[in-house]
Amino acid sequence: MGNSCPKPVKAPRIAMDKNKAVVIIGGGPSGVHMASQLAKRGYTNVTLLEASAELGGKSRTTVDKDGVPHDMGTCYLSNRYGPIRDLLAEYDPGNAEVDVTNEMIFGGLQRDGDDKDYTNGVSLVDIMLEKAEEASAIPSACWPICPDFLSTPAFVSAFVNYIRLHKKLLGSYDYGMPPRPRDFAAVDMTAMEFLNKHKLLAMVGLLRYSLQLQGYGVLETVPALYMLWWVHPNLLLGALKEPADLTQVTMLSKGYQSLWRSMAQAHSAKVKFMTGARVTRILRGDTPSVSFVNANGTPGFLAFDKLIMAVDMSRMAGLVDDLTPDEKDMFSGYSDGLVYCSTLYESDNRPAEFTTSLWMDRMLPNVERDGNADGGRIHAIRNFRVINGIDNVDKLRERRVAFQYLERGLRDGDDAILLKRLEQGLADAGDTNVVVLEQKAWPYMPRFTNAGLRQGGPWRVLASQGANNTLWIGSSVCFESVLDVVGYNNRLLASFDD
Listing DSSP states for 24-60 in one string gives EE--SHHHHHHHHHHHHTT---EEEEESSSSS-TT--
Name the band, by pLDDT with cuts 50, 70 and 90, for residue 118: very low
Confidence (pLDDT) at 239: 59
Higher pLDDT, 87 or 119: 87
Name the average pLDDT for the chain.
89
CB atoms within 10 A of CB 428: 14
Give the relative orientation of helices 482-493 and 29-40 as an angle to the nearest 10 degrees.
30
| Under 8 Å between Cβ of 464 and 477 | no
Sorted by where each starts, the structural domains of the chain and their CATH numbers stand as 2-57+256-334+447-497 (3.50.50.60), 61-100+338-444 (3.90.660), 124-246 (1.10.405)
Query: How does 434-463 read in b/e, with b if 16+ C-beta sit within 10 Å?
Result: beeeebbbbbbbbbbebebbbbbbbbbbbe
Residue 122 has pLDDT above 90, yes or no: no
Angle at the Cα of 476 from the Cα atoms of 229 and 411, rounded to 5 degrees = 120
254's CB contacts (< 8 A; 6+ apart) are 61, 69, 92, 94, 95, 96
Cα torsion 353, 85, 75, 234: sign? negative
Residue 370 has pLDDT above 70, yes or no: no
Which stretch of DSSP H or E encloses residue 482?
Answer: helix 482-493
Residue 147 has pLDDT above 90, yes or no: no
